[in-house]
């Protein structure tokens, strides 16, 4: 598919999601070879009509050179010619970044005049460097950089809803005596910071405190079973003790207040495309403040002293617990092939698998404290992965013992938060 056609589908996506009647399309899409029966059934299982329309438009971009004209023909055959006309107009409309839209009238006036022979104007309406440089004021470098970054709409998740999604925070502080797990002093500091931060980033935040393992599972399933069709994203934050677990996809586990572990991959898979259709194609972000094991990293010698060589004042604690082998053996290797692809998922861990994650009793965990600060400073200009690199760099420089956050990234595009 040509780039102009892809761009037309993206520009028209909002109207298509709102107005497209998908039911009459399924048979023609299959009959004309755009989709197989299996693909059509998968689209039909995407959720509501709007969700099906959204996924159809996204998948059309992958269906070859003839996909766009065939889709227009099918729209007209099913009485939806107005949508076909809209897409044709969008296909003929040039790409103008919203941040530079004010330049368009200037270029229209230039086209209506007789130009000097030495001046080379583009054949198509665009944003030439010559015209842009004639503006009396040049945007500051950060703002211009963001405009260039976000003009590649095919590489950026669109967040248009308000709120843009749900954010569930599970904060376990007090554990039962039978669990042999200590009170996580300082976790409430983390929780309050993240509540405030994600509310400022246009999320509807729900916090649940001191839950047993099954109660945590219930809250996660309840969130996954909601209709996210009108939303663009979902966030899950877990603040608890952690451990190593057997896994196929995502390492580590977190504990309920009763001392029972929940594998991270089980948590993540509640929200994958098979179990949560209304979040298909939408970013699902998980932030885990918990230990990945019991190892304490003393670091290695470098040529210069790391900043913050000693940890801030206050007692340091870790969220580590011993590794517990799963009961009843391990998963068979053959089971891996049947697992759904974890697309549009990012899991950010506070520490490397197998190592402890440090928490200060007064200021909270190193990871959350740094994450909150980085989001405050950079969320309006940088994508999530760039900010997580900043978090990893800052946390790795702390303390006598060392810690390095990391992530398992299965996002297909860059993710920019919406800042109020």
Number of structural domains found in the chain:
2
Residue 105 lies in a domain: no
172 shares a domain with 65: no
Angle at 137 between CA 132 and CA 139, to 5 degrees: 80
Last residue of a domain, one of 76, 92, 108: 92
* Helix extents (H) in 225-365: 264-269
Residue 345 lies in a domain: yes
Query: Which residue, among 197, 200, 271, has the nearest Cα to 234 in the 3D structure?
Result: 271
Which CATH number does the domain housing residue 56 bear?
1.10.533.10
Q: What is the pLDDT of residue 401?
A: 66
**Under 8 Å between Cβ of 262 and 217:** yes
Q: What is the pLDDT of residue 7?
A: 84
Specify burial of residue 82 (Cβ count, 10 A radius: 0-12, 13-18, 19+): exposed
58 shares a domain with 203: no
Q: What is the pLDDT of residue 213?
A: 96
Residue 151 lies in a domain: no
Last residue of a domain, one of 92, 113, 145: 92
Q: What is the pLDDT of residue 91?
A: 82
Count other Cβ atoms within 10 Å, centred on residue 309: 10
177 shares a domain with 82: no
Which CATH number does the domain housing residue 260 bear?
3.40.50.1460
Query: Which residue, among 287, 239, 248, has the nearest Cα to 406 in the 3D structure?
Result: 287
Residue 139 lies in a domain: no
The catalytic position among 234, 243, 276, 291 is 291
DSSP per-residue letters across 231-263: -SEEEEEEES-EE----SSS--EEE-TTS-EEE
Q: What is the pLDDT of residue 389?
A: 94
190 shares a domain with 88: no
393 shares a domain with 254: yes
Residue 334 lies in a domain: no
Q: What is the pLDDT of residue 1?
A: 74
Residue 40 lies in a domain: yes
CA atoms of 357 and 349, how far apart (whole Å): 9
314 shares a domain with 172: yes
Residue 320 lies in a domain: yes
Domain that holds residue 82: 3-92
The catalytic position among 167, 191, 234, 241 is 241
pLDDT by residue for the chain (420 residues), tens digit each?
788 888 888 888 889 999 999 899 999 998 888 888 888 888 888 888 988 988 898 888 888 888 888 999 999 999 999 999 999 888 876 544 444 333 344 443 444 444 444 445 444 444 344 333 344 444 444 554 554 444 466 689 999 999 999 999 999 999 999 988 888 888 999 999 999 999 999 999 999 999 999 999 999 999 999 999 999 999 999 999 988 787 777 888 999 999 999 999 999 999 998 899 999 999 999 999 886 434 444 443 334 444 444 444 455 555 544 444 344 433 333 333 233 456 899 999 988 765 666 667 777 788 999 999 999 999 999 999 999 999 988 888 776 666 788 889 999 999 999 987
188 shares a domain with 74: no
Last residue of a domain, one of 62, 92, 122: 92
> Is residue 241 among the annotated active site residues?
yes
88 shares a domain with 169: no
Q: What is the pLDDT of residue 359?
A: 64
**Under 8 Å between Cβ of 362 and 185:** no
46 shares a domain with 174: no
CA atoms of 274 and 339, how far apart (whole Å): 10
Residues pairing with 287 in the sheet: 237, 348
CA atoms of 218 and 227, how far apart (whole Å): 16
172 shares a domain with 51: no
187 shares a domain with 39: no
Residue 223 lies in a domain: yes
Locate tokens 């677990």: which residue? 245
269 shares a domain with 393: yes
Structure-token pair, residue 175: 């554990």
DSSP per-residue letters across 378-409: HTTTS-HHHHHHHHHHHHHT-SSSB---EEEE
């Amino acid at each position: 598919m040509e780039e102009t056609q892809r761009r037309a589908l993206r520009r028209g996506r909002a109207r298509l999601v709102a107005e497209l009647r998908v039911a009459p399309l399924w048979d023609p899409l299959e009959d004309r070879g755009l989709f197989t029966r299996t693909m059509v059934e998968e689209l039909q299982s995407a959720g509501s009509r709007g969700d099906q329309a959204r996924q159809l438009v996204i998948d059309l971009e992958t269906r070859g050179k003839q996909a766009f004209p065939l889709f227009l023909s099918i729209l007209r055959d099913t009485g939806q010619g107005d949508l076909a006309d809209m897409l044709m107009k969008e296909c003929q409309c040039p790409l103008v970044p919203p941040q530079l839209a004010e330049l368009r009238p200037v270029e229209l006036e230039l086209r209506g005049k007789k130009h000097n022979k030495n001046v080379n104007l583009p054949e198509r309406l665009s944003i030439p460097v010559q015209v842009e440089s004639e503006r009396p004021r040049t945007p500051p470098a950060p703002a211009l950089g963001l405009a260039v970054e976000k003009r590649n709409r095919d590489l950026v998740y669109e967040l248009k809803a308000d709120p843009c999604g749900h954010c569930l925070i599970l904060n376990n502080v007090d554990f039962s005596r039978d669990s042999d797990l200590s009170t996580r002093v300082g976790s409430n500091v983390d929780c309050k910071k993240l509540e405030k931060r994600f509310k400022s980033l246009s999320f509807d935040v729900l916090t649940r405190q001191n839950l047993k393992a099954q109660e945590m599972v219930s809250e996660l399933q309840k969130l996954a079973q909601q209709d996210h069709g009108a939303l663009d994203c979902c966030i899950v934050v877990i603040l608890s003790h952690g451990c190593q677990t057997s896994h196929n996809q995502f390492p580590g586990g977190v504990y309920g207040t009763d001392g029972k572990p929940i594998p991270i991959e089980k948590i993540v898979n509640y929200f994958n495309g098979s179990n949560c259709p209304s979040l298909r194609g939408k970013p699902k972000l998980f932030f885990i403040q918990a230990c990945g094991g019991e190892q304490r990293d003393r670091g290695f010698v470098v040529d210069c002293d790391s900043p913050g060589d000693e940890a801030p004042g206050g007692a340091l604690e870790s969220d580590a617990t011993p590794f517990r082998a799963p009961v009843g053996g391990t998963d068979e290797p053959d089971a891996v092939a049947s697992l759904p692809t974890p697309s549009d998922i990012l899991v950010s861990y506070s520490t490397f698998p197998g190592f402890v994650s440090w928490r200060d009793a007064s200021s909270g965990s190193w990871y959350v404290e740094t994450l909150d600060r980085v989001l405050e400073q950079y969320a309006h200009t940088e994508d999530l992965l760039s900010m997580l690199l900043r978090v990893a760099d800052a946390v790795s420089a702390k303390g006598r013992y060392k810690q390095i956050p990391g992530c398992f990234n299965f996002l297909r595009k860059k993710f920019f938060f919406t800042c109020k």
